[in-house]
Amino acid sequence: MIDEYKTISHHIGEGIYTEKRSKFLAFSHFVENVDDIKQLVQDYRKRYYDARHVCYAYMLGHERKDYRANDDGEPGGTAGKPILGQINALELTNVLVIVVRYYGGINLGTGGLVVAYRQAAREALDNAEVITRQVEEQVEYNFTYPMMNDVMRIVKEMSPRIVSQTFETNCSITLSIRKSEAEQLRERLAKLSFGE
């Protein structure tokens, strides 16, 4: 079971590529969902309202199955695909790369565009911090207050991240743990219930 993936940190990677007076400004972002992406693309379109094109590509999910490439008016396949190609070359996910183009008055041709978008995207990714994250699974557990010490001992031993917890007459805890360890955590907590 593969339970880790490569992505980038929250630090924005930036790149710039110039060809025949056209300027390509590239930005790489960590993203978790399509709503984040829509918001970021909208923000860049507002910030660079005078640019000719705001092209982008993204990859989402640890299985790397949710992706999109957008040429934003450039000839088909000359912008979004080369950007996505750089994300794929580094095997990254949960990444959005936006490339803003200011037209310099000289046409670059489809080959020139592909090179420019690819280079700008690569520079933005090279200037980002690549990190490895674990695929996590959430485990919820309900228990009675007298079981608190036993539950917290397991939490201390297995080191899951505590997402939420409620300690009243009936207690509940939601834990997030590496996917490959989730079943073991469930089994250990279930044994506590049988011991009641």
Q: How far is Cα 195 from Cα 95, in angstroms, rounded to an integer?
A: 45
Residue 195 has pLDDT above 70, yes or no: no
Q: What is the pLDDT of residue 167?
A: 87
Q: Which residue, among 52, 26, 47, 193, has the nearest Cα to 124 in the 3D structure?
A: 26
Quick: pLDDT tens for 59-108. Answer: 999 889 999 999 999 999 999 999 999 999 999 999 999 999 999 998 99
Greater pLDDT, 125 or 167: 125
Q: What is the mean pLDDT of the chain?
A: 94
Listed in sequence order, the residues at least 6 apart from 153 whose beta carbon sits closer than 8 Å to its beta carbon are none
Quote the pTM value: 0.79
Confidence of residue 127 (pLDDT cuts 50, 70, 90): very high
Section 17-24 average pLDDT = 95
Q: How far is Cα 45 from Cα 89, in angstroms, rounded to an integer?
A: 26
Q: What is the pLDDT of residue 21?
A: 93
Helix residue ranges, H only, 2-108: 34-47, 80-89
Section 126-140 average pLDDT = 93
Confidence of residue 1 (pLDDT cuts 50, 70, 90): low
Q: What is the secondary structure of 153-181 as a DSSP string?
A: HHHHHH-PEEEEEE-SSEEEEEEEEEHHH
